[in-house]
């Protein structure tokens, strides 16, 4: 049986079609985000139907800051991944681009009209000057007839009126086209911003063994996000346990809006090196404090810049407001546009590198300006782009000029929110995670959103008043947390509340804490301390070549609270640095004495509404010639 060549060609074509690579743009939705102290892992769900053969799956709209090496595709089953190719995409397509081109064309037309009117304004100005200069008609030696003079005067008057009318008309046209250009700029700013927003496009080539509905999971790590812990320590009264509220400040400016996603906060740092350190040679006499093994931590935000929000006005050269002007943080997706009064307000991400702490101000028809963020209020006056108008003017008079498409950027900002949640806390081998139980929305605006993670009642907490009246005659209230190590605390700021009033802020540093963690709530005026010298005992005696001084002090304590308080008072004896100096007759009843430092410590309980007096005295003998140093 003979097979025709046509059949062979057809069979070959069908075989090639069966195994040809098919390109398909795949939709994905963000299901879960795990936020680390610096960075986040985003997980997307994908559902796609694939035929048997080769497929090129294109995932669009990913963050431009994602780590290409962290891309992971799972749930493959009957699929084989042949390649993964990430590439940047600047969204130069779609209906928005079409609208943007139309607005840019209108902007160019308005610029041409504006340049033409400016040119005519100069022409009329020159004609007016010429008419005024020629008011001396006929010259000094030429006598003009009355009729000729009348006609000349009538002509000049008529022409000057026409020139004045044309100048007024031109001025009105300039304002008209200038306002039209500003209106176009207001519409164009957010569109151009969106077109320039860098996003990542991931192209995955897979091979399917059979036709099936496939559910995949795409995950990746990105840097422009993070969270940091903070705490509210509340002491209602001395008879109740300390309340410690755990809070998280979350932010992201990745370019993706995370809407109604499962959010997990982790104390882990995926950028830490996961290698066991090796011992290095140690020579006796050199430091052996292990500092050479310690990597510098990059996930602690204790050195945050204090400027987290900037606001101000953007105006033109005549101090008029510019609505719709773009204000962006240079090199990021974070930005906004000015309102009808030219006012803007912009959040600054807490972990923004110093080199990116700069704002760019731009508007169509004006020269862009940059300003380093050094203060919370930044006002800018933009200057007209004269060069662009000159180039457009060439087009207006028939030339083939260069088109100027000013690139500006801006984003509408969403307001932040604070929520209270009962999170699901899980302790892993090397970290702690907090799973927020409700679907959460975190926009890419650089703002800090606060979530309440949990509240702990520290049952074994206790309180003491500390006083060093020799230095400062005030009582400081301290709270102590013996079991703090069981709370999985992280470094962070602590807001202190005493009896429902804010009293200040302190810093929690678990790495350098002692066995019992302490928090100082500052001075409490309801418990007082006063130290004074007892003059009746104080005296100086001269015996031979020596001088003897007797000193006595009274320390008065008073508790005006309705509950008893624990008090620790510290004072000191002088120490002798020479054998010719003697400290003797020392007395401090009920005080614990440290003979090496001379420090005195009283620990006592003072009942409600009562007072107590502590006494301290000592004598010192030293040579008349003064204090002698030496052994």
* 208-260: pLDDT as tens digits: 888 888 888 899 999 889 998 999 999 988 888 999 999 999 999 888 899 99
Mean per-residue pLDDT for 444-468?
90
Query: Taking a C-beta distance cutoff of 8 angstroms, is the pair 225, 252 a contact?
Result: yes
pLDDT band for position 106 (cuts 50, 70, 90): confident
Is pLDDT above 80 for 100?
A: no
Q: What confidence score (pLDDT) does residue 397 get?
A: 31
Q: What confidence score (pLDDT) does residue 394 get?
A: 37
Residue written as token pair 């180039």: 391
Query: Taking a C-beta distance cutoff of 8 angstroms, is the pair 54, 41 a contact?
Result: no
**Mean pLDDT lowest for which of 41-50, 189-198, 358-367, 598-607?**
189-198
Q: What confidence score (pLDDT) does residue 365 get?
A: 78
Burial of residue 231, with CB atoms counted within 10 A of its CB: 0-12 exposed, 13-18 middle, 19 or more buried? buried
Report the distance separating Cα 158 and Cα 138, nearest Å: 19
Q: What confidence score (pLDDT) does residue 393 get?
A: 38
- Percent of the chain whose predicted confidence (pLDDT) is above 90: 24
CB crowding 181-210: b at 16 or more within 10 Å, else e: bbbbbbebbbbbbbbebebbbbebbbbbee
CA 339 to chain centre: 22
Closest CA to 155 of 131, 176, 171: 131
Is pLDDT above 90 for 9?
A: no
DSSP 57-108: EEEEEEETTB-GGG-EEE--TTEEEEEEEEEEE----SHHHHHHHHHHHHHH
Return the structure tokens found at 613.
């007096």
pLDDT band for position 90 (cuts 50, 70, 90): low
Report the distance separating Cα 21 and Cα 19, nearest Å: 6
SS3 assignment, position 390: helix
Q: What are phi and psi of 430, to 5 degrees?
A: -125, 5
Report in angstroms the alpha-carbon separations of 38 from 133, 144, 222, 246, 334.
74, 91, 9, 18, 17
Closest CA to 56 of 202, 269, 252: 202
Is pLDDT above 90 for 43?
A: yes
Report the distance separating Cα 321 and Cα 185, nearest Å: 13
Render pLDDT for 513-527 as a digit per residue (tens, 0 to 9): 777 888 889 899 999
Looking at per-residue confidence, does 182 or 73 come out higher?
73
**Mean pLDDT lowest for which of 103-117, 299-313, 425-439?**
299-313
pLDDT band for position 479 (cuts 50, 70, 90): very high
pTM of the shown model? 0.64
Residue written as token pair 């929000």: 309
Q: What confidence score (pLDDT) does residue 526 get?
A: 92
CA atoms within 13 A on the CB side of 228: 21
Return the structure tokens found at 76.
């493959």
Closest CA to 270 of 34, 30, 510: 34
Mean per-residue pLDDT for 72-87?
83
Q: What is the DSSP letter of 270?
A: T
Report the distance separating Cα 380 and Cα 344, nearest Å: 11
Q: What confidence score (pLDDT) does residue 565 get?
A: 94
Closest CA to 617 of 557, 549, 547: 549
Q: What angle do CA 193, 197, 198 make, to 5 degrees?
A: 160
Residue written as token pair 């498409």: 405
Cβ partners under 8 Å of residue 7, min gap 6: none
Largest CA distance in the chain: 143
Is pLDDT above 70 for 545?
A: yes
Return the structure tokens found at 541.
């005696």
Q: What confidence score (pLDDT) does residue 86 get?
A: 84
Q: What are phi and psi of 106, to 5 degrees?
A: -65, -35
Report the distance separating Cα 335 and Cα 446, nearest Å: 9
Q: Give the full edge-to-edge strand order of the sheet including 53-63.
A: 22-26, 53-63, 199-208, 79-89
Q: What confidence score (pLDDT) does residue 560 get?
A: 95
Closest CA to 224 of 29, 451, 414, 38: 38
Most confident of 81-95, 294-308, 337-351, 396-410: 337-351
The dihedral over CA atoms of 502, 504, 510, 512, expressed in degrees to the nearest 10, equals -160
Report the distance separating Cα 206 and Cα 197, nearest Å: 29
Mean per-residue pLDDT for 570-594?
92
**Mean pLDDT lowest for which of 9-18, 26-35, 580-589, 593-602?**
9-18
Q: What confidence score (pLDDT) does residue 191 get?
A: 65
Q: Show the 3-state SS of 514-535.
A: CCCEEEEEEECCCEEEEEEECC
CB crowding 262-281: b at 16 or more within 10 Å, else e: bbbbbbebbeeeeeeeeeee
Report the distance separating Cα 118 and Cα 43, nearest Å: 56
Angle at which helices 95-133 and 386-396 pack, to 10 degrees?
Answer: 80
Report the distance separating Cα 53 and Cα 210, nearest Å: 8
Is pLDDT above 70 for 529?
A: yes
Q: What confidence score (pLDDT) does residue 275 get?
A: 61
Q: What confidence score (pLDDT) does residue 629 get?
A: 43
Render pLDDT for 614-625 as a digit per residue (tens, 0 to 9): 999 999 998 887
Report in angstroms the alpha-carbon separations of 90 from 30, 62, 195, 367, 368.
20, 11, 6, 23, 21
Is pLDDT above 90 for 22?
A: no
pLDDT band for position 470 (cuts 50, 70, 90): very high
Residue written as token pair 């101090």: 319
Is pLDDT above 70 for 77?
A: yes
Q: What confidence score (pLDDT) does residue 510 get?
A: 82
Instruction: For the chain, give the mean pLDDT.
Output: 79
Report the distance separating Cα 391 and Cα 397, nearest Å: 11
pLDDT band for position 399 (cuts 50, 70, 90): very low
Is pLDDT above 90 for 568?
A: yes
Report the distance separating Cα 42 and Cα 366, nearest Å: 39
Q: What confidence score (pLDDT) does residue 604 get?
A: 95
SS3 assignment, position 229: strand
């Amino acid at each position: 049986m003979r097979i025709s060549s046509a059949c062979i060609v057809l069979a070959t074509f069908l075989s090639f079609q069966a195994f040809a690579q098919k390109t398909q743009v795949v939709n994905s939705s963000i299901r879960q985000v795990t936020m680390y102290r610096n960075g986040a892992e985003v997980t997307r769900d994908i559902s796609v139907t694939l035929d048997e053969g080769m497929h090129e799956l294109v995932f669009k709209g990913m963050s431009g800051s994602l780590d290409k090496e962290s891309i992971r595709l799972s749930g493959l089953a009957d699929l084989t991944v042949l390649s993964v190719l990430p590439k940047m995409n600047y969204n130069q397509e779609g209906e928005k681009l079409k609208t943007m081109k139309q607005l840019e064309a209108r902007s160019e037309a308005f610029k041409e009209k504006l340049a033409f009117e400016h040119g005519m304004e100069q022409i009329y100005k020159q004609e007016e000057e010429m008419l005024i200069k020629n008011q001396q008609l006929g010259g000094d030696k030429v006598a003009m007839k009355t009729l000729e003079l009348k006609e000349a005067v009538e002509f000049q008057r008529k022409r000057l009126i026409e020139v004045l009318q044309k100048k007024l008309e031109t001025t009105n046209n300039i304002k008209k086209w200038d306002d039209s250009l500003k209106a176009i700029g207001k519409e164009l700013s957010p569109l151009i911003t969106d077109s320039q927003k860098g996003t990542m496009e991931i192209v995955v080539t897979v091979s399917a063994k059979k036709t099936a509905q496939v559910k995949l999971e795409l995950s990746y790590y990105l840097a422009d996000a993070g969270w940091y812990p903070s705490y509210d320590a509340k002491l209602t009264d001395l008879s109740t346990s300390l309340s410690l509220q755990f809070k998280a400040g979350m932010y992201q400016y990745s370019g993706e809006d995370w809407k109604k996603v499962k959010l997990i906060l982790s104390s882990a740092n995926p950028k830490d090196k996961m290698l066991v350190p090796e011992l290095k040679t140690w020579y006796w006499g050199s430091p052996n404090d292990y500092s050479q093994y310690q990597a510098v931590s990059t996930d602690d935000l204790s050195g945050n810049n204090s400027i987290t929000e900037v606001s101000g006005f953007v105006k033109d050269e005549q101090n008029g407001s510019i609505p719709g002007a773009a204000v962006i943080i240079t090199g990021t997706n974070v930005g906004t546009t000015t309102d009808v009064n030219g006012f803007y307000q912009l959040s600054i991400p807490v972990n923004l590198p110093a080199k990116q702490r700069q704002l760019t101000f731009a508007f169509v028809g004006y020269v862009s300006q940059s300003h380093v963020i050094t203060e919370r209020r930044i006002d800018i006056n933009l200057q007209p782009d004269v060069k662009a108008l000159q180039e457009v003017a060439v087009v207006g008079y028939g030339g083939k000029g260069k088109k100027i498409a000013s690139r500006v950027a801006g984003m509408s900002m969403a307001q932040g929110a604070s929520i209270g949640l009962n999170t699901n806390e899980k302790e892993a081998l090397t970290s702690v995670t907090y799973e927020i139980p409700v679907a959460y929305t975190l926009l890419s605006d650089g703002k800090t959103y606060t979530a309440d993670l949990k509240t702990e009642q520290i049952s074994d907490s206790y309180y003491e008043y500390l006083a060093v009246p020799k230095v400062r005659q005030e009582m400081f209230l301290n709270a102590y947390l013996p079991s703090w190590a069981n709370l999985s605390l992280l470094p962070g700021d602590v807001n202190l509340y005493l009896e429902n009033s804010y009293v200040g802020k302190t810093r929690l540093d678990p790495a350098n804490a002692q066995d019992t963690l302490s928090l100082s709530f500052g001075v409490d005026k309801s418990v007082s301390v006063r130290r004074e010298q007892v003059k009746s005992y104080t005296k100086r005696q001269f015996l031979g070549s020596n001088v003897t001084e007797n000193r006595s002090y009274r320390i008065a304590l008073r508790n005006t609270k309705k509950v008893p308080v624990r008090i620790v008072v510290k004072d000191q004896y002088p120490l002798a640095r020479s054998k010719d100096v003697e400290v003797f007759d020392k007395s401090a009843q009920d005080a614990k004495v440290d003979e090496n430092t001379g420090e005195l410590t009283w620990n006592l309980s003072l009942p409600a509404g009562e007072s107590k007096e502590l006494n301290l005295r000592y004598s010192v003998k030293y040579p008349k010639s003064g204090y002698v140093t030496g052994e």
